[in-house]
Structure 1
Amino acid sequence: MAKKTLFTRRQTLFFWLSTFASLSLLTSKNAFNPRQIDPLSRKFVASGNMSIGKRALIKGLSYGAAVNKNSLSSNPQLAASIDKECVIIVPEWELKWDFLRPTSTSFDFRPADWLAEFARTHGLLFRGHTLVWHEALPTWFVKTINSHNARQLLLEHITTVVKHYAGNIHSWDVVNEAINLQDGRSDGLRKTPWLQFIGRDYIEIAFCIAAEADPKAMLVYNDYGLEYDTPEHEAKRKAVLNLLKNLKSKGTPIHALGIQSHLSGDETRFNSDKFQKFLSEIASLDLKILITEIDVKDKNLPVDIKVRDRIVAATYEDYLSVVLNEPAVIAVLTWGLSDRYTWLSEYQPRRDGARVRPLPLDANFKRKLAWNAIARAFDNAPQR
């Protein structure tokens, strides 16, 4: 879809939304700007009843979602929905350090193993998230790590975890969110304990360790804040691209970039041409691309569900229609499947107290316009 046409049509809705949405929302400090919505004439009609996962598979793609053991094991409706809609799942928390490492000398794989077994039983692929991150670290970590033991600690953790799932994993987010331009380094690297105690080569080291532990696993660098046409996102795209070029030049066994894509329904600054160029540059490095954590934040959108759901759906479809045109993109995972279980309820709540609605299924596991939008994007994607 041409960007100029899209925004011209969005602007025509200004007066319509002024009458449809409540005046309090339109005049509040965080007022929704109606120029960012797609035309209301878009119907978001998805043909047939086929699941998103099957639509993706037809095009040579994979669709899935993040899940956690507690929700999945306690709610049969969620389990049934995951089984119906997905072909791949990723643990939301269970493979992060603070879940896996109760002490510096022990591992607890039981929650993650439960999820891996669910995937195996239901014929789903299983992703790993994440081996190296600056957050979700156990309390003992800060007290223990130093320049003398950091490299060994990294080696032990990655080797143990990756070998534990070797042969049963689709891909690993080996390093997560290593770029943070606000930290002021010329290379853009985030100041983390790994950087402090090992040095900038910790990223290369992590990928090499993972490759040795499981030579068949797809190894991914995963990051956020890459989607929009803003100076911040543009600078981060450049930093991530430079990081990947550097790793490839050294022969590092890295196979893909993961783009989180936590999108905002009230954000208009998406430049399809610039983002497509970025995706092409990643592909030119002989890397695959996964959309690893997509959802659409609706905290600043009107409370009216009909309006809100349409904006969220448009955000999904407009973004994925660009992303899926890049042949290097092989998978899309939403960060959750149902609005009943989303991290945004806690971390990005609405000020009016209304339930957030960022995902394909509502809190009662019914398909929403967002589901239709994702289904349409897969239906219209070129064949892999």
Structure 2
Amino acid sequence: MIDPRKSRWNRRAVLAGAAALPLMSFAREEAMKDRAGRAGMLFGVAVRASQLREDADFRAAITRECSVITPELELKWAWLEPQRGQLSFTDADQIASFAARTGKAMHGHALLWHLSIAPWAAEALGDNPDWTIVRRFLASVIPRYGEVTNTWDVVNEPMEMGHRMDGLRPSPYLAAFGPDYIRRALEDARLFAPRAKLFINEFGLDYDFQVERDKRYLLLKLLEGLKKSGAPIDGLGMQAHLEIAKQAHFDPRALAQFFDDVGSLGLEVRISELDVKEADGTLPTAERDARVADAVRRYLDVAMANRAVGTIGCWGLTDRYSWLESPGGKAGANRGLPLDSALHPKPMYHAISEAYALRGG
């Protein structure tokens, strides 16, 4: 955990503010970060700087519940450098400062992602495949957050089935540098963050469809190749965007085998973006919440049986700020995050808490 007294992000004037945080409705329950800590693990969520700035109750919930926070947008290339040479760290710095003063780590997400490359950079790489353009970006970002960030998603979502035999996704990076761009990015990230853990982060690995079986197989081949080449990779982020409509295709044995295969490479696994997309918003709220919790519980039962898993992270903490669309066209938020829109814990919250108990938390 980051010591805010030693961090460049420390702001002495705000340290006293923690004592004044509003009490949450679940104050008598044990905080999730404490359950995770007893299990030797972490609990994290994705946040936006604007949410931390504008919502005091949300800040209080994050402060209480989380041991690590992930900037949802603010470390992505298109956000940081929309114009060449004009980097703006204001929002990322705010998240880093909040993390430091509340004793949390900030997970670095995500350095290279096909959907967040700055348009000028994509154009420049198309005209002239010059790795120094990528290296300059990495050098500008990674060392800046070295005191508060000890894990990075170096490459986000590099896989997509149906294009190539190796399963790599067509992207400006692949077009400019070929498959070796992943290794080069990891090596540069290690250069700029020699003590951080470096991850590839991927989705669509959770169910027993042919496309997901193929993706797991080819992703393992990629990881094996990176390890064999000596690339500095420390782990895999499994996004775990679960869907109620796909639960009939959940095969715990296949998922357990994948966790085993990743762990056998000496890699850590982060459950990095856990949430649940509902299928039917017309059901009673209690039934909706029970279905969400059941999907999470079944998934985490498999994950927690494997010691390679070290973090559970959700893509948001509360339905108040869910990115998921309302299910079935019904008005009202998707209920696929641990807290509801009023910041009350739901059955999903307890399913995660129970998962830590499987590890002694």
Range with greater deviation from structure 2 (252-261 or 374-383): 374-383
Q: 1:264 aligns with which of 223, 233, 243?
A: 243
2:49 equivalent in structure 1: 69
Q: Is the 8 Å Cα contact of residues 167 and 216 (structure 1) preserved in structure 2?
A: no
Summarize the alignment of residues 1-384 of structure 1 with structure 2, pairs less than 5 Å apart: 49-146=29-126, 148-183=128-163, 185-267=164-246, 268-300=248-280, 302-345=282-325, 349-381=327-359
- After superposition, what is the alpha-carbon deviation per residue over 1:32-72, rounded to whole angstroms, capped at 9, x for unaligned? xxxxxxxxxxxxxx9x7211111111010100100000011
In the TM superposition, what is the alpha-carbon distance from 1:168 to its structure 2 partner?
A: 2.3
- After superposition, what is the alpha-carbon deviation per residue over 1:333-358, rounded to whole angstroms, capped at 9, x for unaligned? 0000000001113xx65412232111
Number of residue pairs the alignment of both structures matches: 334
In the TM superposition, what is the alpha-carbon distance from 1:288 to its structure 2 partner?
A: 0.5
In the TM superposition, what is the alpha-carbon distance from 1:382 to its structure 2 partner?
A: 5.2
Q: Is the 8 Å Cα contact of residues 82 and 119 (structure 2) preserved in structure 1?
A: no
TM-score (norm: length of structure 2): 0.89
In the TM superposition, what is the alpha-carbon distance from 1:150 to its structure 2 partner?
A: 3.5
Residues in 2 aligned to 1:139 and 1:177: alpha-carbon distance in whole angstroms: 18
Residues in 2 aligned to 1:337 and 1:186: alpha-carbon distance in whole angstroms: 38
In the TM superposition, what is the alpha-carbon distance from 1:295 to its structure 2 partner?
A: 0.2
Q: Is the 8 Å Cα contact of residues 167 and 214 (structure 1) preserved in structure 2?
A: no
1:35 equivalent in structure 2: none
The secondary structure found in structure 2 opposite 1:358 is coil
Task: From the superposition, tell whether residues 135 and 75 of structure 1 become closer, same or farther in structure 2 (CA, over 3 Å).
Answer: same
Q: Structure 2 stretches of 5 or more lacking a match? A: 1-25
* % identity of equivalent residues: 34
Q: Which amino acid in the other structure matches residue 331 of structure 2?
A: G
- After superposition, what is the alpha-carbon deviation per residue over 1:115-144, rounded to whole angstroms, capped at 9, x for unaligned? 000000000111000011100233323333
Q: Structure 1 stretches of 5 or more lacking a match? A: 1-45
Q: Is the 8 Å Cα contact of residues 112 and 155 (structure 2) preserved in structure 1?
A: yes
Residues in 2 aligned to 1:256 and 1:302: alpha-carbon distance in whole angstroms: 39
- After superposition, what is the alpha-carbon deviation per residue over 1:77-105, rounded to whole angstroms, capped at 9, x for unaligned? 10000011111000000001111002111
Range with greater deviation from structure 2 (161-170 or 249-258): 161-170
TM-score (norm: length of structure 1): 0.84
Q: Which amino acid in the other structure matches residue 338 of structure 2?
A: P
Report which of the two structures shows the higher radius of gyration computed on alpha carbons: 1
Q: Is the 8 Å Cα contact of residues 281 and 330 (structure 2) preserved in structure 1?
A: no
In the TM superposition, what is the alpha-carbon distance from 1:149 to its structure 2 partner?
A: 4.3
Say which structure, 1 or 2, has more relative contact order (CA 8 Å, 6+ apart): 1
In the TM superposition, what is the alpha-carbon distance from 1:302 to its structure 2 partner?
A: 4.2
